[in-house]
């Protein structure tokens, strides 16, 4: 088994989460809307989880709408809020996840106006520039992520949300998928109407997430059907996955400061030695970042080649964006940051998790160093 350094793509399932899910998958009948005992048991598991997820982000349980993951929550936040036929003015950043960029592109094709909040070379939306763009475009709907999945750079969501609100925005959304479980996350402090979460980024199962709503916000469901999730998400709830999500939320909420400190200790150790490699560039290092993420490039080493070599040596990393791993295009995040295309193609991401150790980090750096030493000296000097 290789050492896993790809927790931003999907984190390791917590054993307690599996223990919570298994009895709900194997020993129960019915559906959470059934009135008999088995149905009530599933309903009760879902409502416990709703409370646990709500507590993680400081809201009341009624504000949680469970979805089939972060992708669905992002689509619901946009398409459930906006009627493209009325040509709404929408605004977002070019470094959002594909699950927001693609539905934005679809709405644009249907007549919506879409404007962008530019990102600086540090990977961060500049509040000053955002203020000008918001004043000029006066978006009705705006979305900005809290933390980027590739660079880990944190975005000034509260500041941008306040500006947008001043200029009449009706619906504000934040994709907080990468922030949950890695740092403090308060829905109210962000000042948005909608916020996306995904369980598998912090020890929960894949295929379940949530959209957090400001009280009173109502959304058009993506699929027509039953009245589940306050009429905003039709379809029988997946009680086991939801319960696992709740358990993961409960566990990370309890240990957040320790988690943050440990992840930062690992990352600091990693980057201290990484910086000794000649010519290495760490993207977003000048900005505030998630504690577990290090996105870097070695100028003379193609990212995917490096990734394969490290895989052979027993380390699992990501190149560019894991979500587009079959396409060798430079990452859209690095492109938005103005990173040169050749350098961007060398980008590799380490995203740490709680089961990683200082020894594993040292072994990774040793392996990197060995791979570099194996390259012909002329190649290293040429670019160094």
Pick the stretch among 22-30, 70-78, 119-127, 129-137 that binds ligand PMP (CB under 6 A). 70-78
Element (H, E) at 234: none
Task: Tell which one of 20, 52, 71, 292 touches ligand PMP (CB under 6 A).
Answer: 71
Binding test (CB under 6 A) with ligand PMP, winner from 14, 17, 20, 69: 69
Token couple for 188: 């109210």
Q: Choose one: 22-30, 64-72, 82-90, 357-365; the region binding ligand PMP (CB under 6 A).
A: 64-72
Neighbours of 272 (CB within 10 A): 11
- The residues in 218-247 that bind ligand PMP, with binding defined as CB under 6 A, are none
Single residue of 52, 99, 140, 155 touching ligand PMP by CB under 6 A: 99
Closer residue to ligand PMP in complex, CB, 7/137: 7
Residue 288 in tokens: 């505030």
Select the span of 67-75, 215-223, 237-245, 329-337 touching ligand PMP (CB under 6 A).
67-75
Among positions 104-163, residues that touch ligand PMP (CB under 6 A) are 145, 149
Using a 10 angstrom Cβ sphere, with 0-12 exposed, 13-18 middle and 19 or more buried, the burial of residue 266 is buried
Q: What angle do CA 183, 189, 195 make, to 5 degrees?
A: 75
Closest to ligand PMP by CB, 41 vs 179, is 179
Quick one: which segment of 26-34, 172-180, 261-269, 291-299 binds ligand PMP (CB under 6 A)? 172-180
Q: Kind and range of the H or E element at 13?
A: none
Of 11 and 228, nearer to ligand PMP (C-beta) is 11
Question: What element of type H or E holds 256?
Answer: helix 239-274
> Phi, psi (5° rounding) for residue 324?
-120, 35
Q: Residue 316: name the closest of 8, 12, 2 by CA.
A: 2
What DSSP letter does each residue of 283-327 carry, written as one string? TTTTS-B-TTEEEEE-TTS-HHHHHHHHHHTTEE-EES-GGGTTS
> Residue count at the site for ligand PMP (CB under 6 A)?
14
The residue at minimum Cβ distance from ligand PMP is 70
* C-alpha closest to that of 335 among 116, 31, 133, 48: 116
Using CB under 6 A as the binding rule, whether residue 97 contacts ligand PMP is answered as yes
Choose the catalytic residue: 124, 174, 218, 323. 323
CA 30 to chain centre: 33
177 lies in the site for ligand PMP, by CB under 6 A: yes
Other Cβ atoms closer than 10 A to 131: 16
Q: Using CB under 6 A, which of 80, 209, 246, 284 touches ligand PMP? A: 209
Residue with Cβ nearer ligand PMP (52 or 145): 145
Query: In what helix (H) or strand (E) does residue 172 lie, and over which residues does it extend?
Result: strand 171-175
Which of 70, 88, 123, 139 is the binder for ligand PMP (CB under 6 A)? 70
Site for ligand PMP in 284-343 (CB under 6 A): 323
Select from 7, 93, 175, 250 the one that contacts ligand PMP (CB under 6 A): 175
Q: Is 323 a catalytic residue?
A: yes
Q: Which long-range contacts (CB under 8 A, 24 or more apart) does 368-376 make?
A: 368/274, 368/277, 368/306, 368/310, 369/277, 370/313, 371/301, 371/306, 371/309, 371/310, 371/313, 372/277, 372/298, 372/301, 375/300, 375/301
CB of 261 vs ligand PMP, minimal distance in Å? 23
Q: Candidates 66-74, 122-130, 283-291, 366-374: pick the segment binding ligand PMP (CB under 6 A).
A: 66-74
Q: Least distance (Å) from ligand PMP to the CB of residue 59?
A: 19
Nearer residue to ligand PMP within complex by CB, 137 or 233: 233
Can you read off the two tokens belonging to residue 351? Answer: 């995203």
Minimum separation from the CB atom of position 294 to ligand PMP (A): 16
Positions annotated as catalytic residues are 323
Task: Provide the binding-site residues for ligand PMP, judged by CB under 6 A.
Answer: 69-71, 74, 97, 99, 145, 149, 175, 177-178, 198, 209, 323
């Amino acid at each position: 088994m290789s050492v896993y350094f790809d927790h931003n793509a999907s984190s390791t399932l917590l054993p307690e989460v599996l223990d919570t899910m298994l009895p709900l998958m194997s020993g129960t009948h019915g559906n959470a809307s059934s009135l008999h005992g088995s149905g009530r048991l599933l309903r009760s598991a879902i409502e416990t989880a709703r409370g646990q997820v709500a507590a993680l982000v400081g809201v009341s349980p009624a504000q949680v709408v469970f979805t089939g993951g972060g992708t669905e929550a992002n689509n619901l936040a946009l398409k459930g809020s906006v009627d493209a036929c009325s040509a709404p003015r929408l605004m977002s950043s070019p470094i959002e996840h594909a699950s927001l960029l693609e539905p934005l592109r679809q709405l644009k094709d249907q007549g919506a106006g879409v404007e962008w909040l530019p990102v600086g070379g540090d990977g961060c939306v500049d509040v000053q520039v955002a203020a000008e763009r918001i004043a000029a475009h006066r978006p009705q709907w705006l979305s900005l992520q809290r933390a980027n999945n590739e660079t880990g750079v944190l975005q000034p969501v509260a500041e941008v949300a306040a500006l947008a609100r001043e200029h009449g925005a009706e619906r504000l959304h934040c994709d907080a998928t990468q922030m949950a479980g890695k740092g403090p996350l308060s829905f109210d402090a962000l000042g948005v109407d909608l916020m996306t979460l995904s369980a598998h980024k912090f020890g929960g199962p894949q295929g379940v997430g949530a959209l957090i709503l400001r009280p009173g916000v109502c959304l058009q469901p993506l699929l027509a059907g039953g009245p589940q999730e306050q009429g905003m998400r039709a379809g029988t709830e997946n009680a086991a996955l939801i319960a696992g999500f709740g358990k993961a939320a409960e566990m990370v909420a309890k240990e957040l400061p320790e988690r943050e400190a440990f992840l930062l200790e690992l990352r600091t150790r990693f980057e201290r030695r990484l910086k000794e490699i000649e010519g290495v560039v760490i993207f977003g290092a000048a900005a505030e970042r998630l504690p577990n993420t290090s996105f870097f490039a070695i100028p003379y080493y193609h990212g995917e080649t490096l990734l394969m070599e490290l895989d052979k040596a027993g380390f699992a990393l990501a190149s560019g964006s894991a979500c587009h791993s079959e396409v060798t295009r430079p990452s859209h995040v690095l492109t938005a940051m103005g990173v040169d295309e050749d350098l961007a193609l060398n980008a590799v991401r380490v995203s740490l998790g709680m089961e990683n150790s200082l020894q594993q980090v040292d072994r990774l750096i040793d392996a990197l160093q060995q791979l570099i030493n194996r390259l012909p000296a002329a190649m290293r000097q040429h670019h160094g």
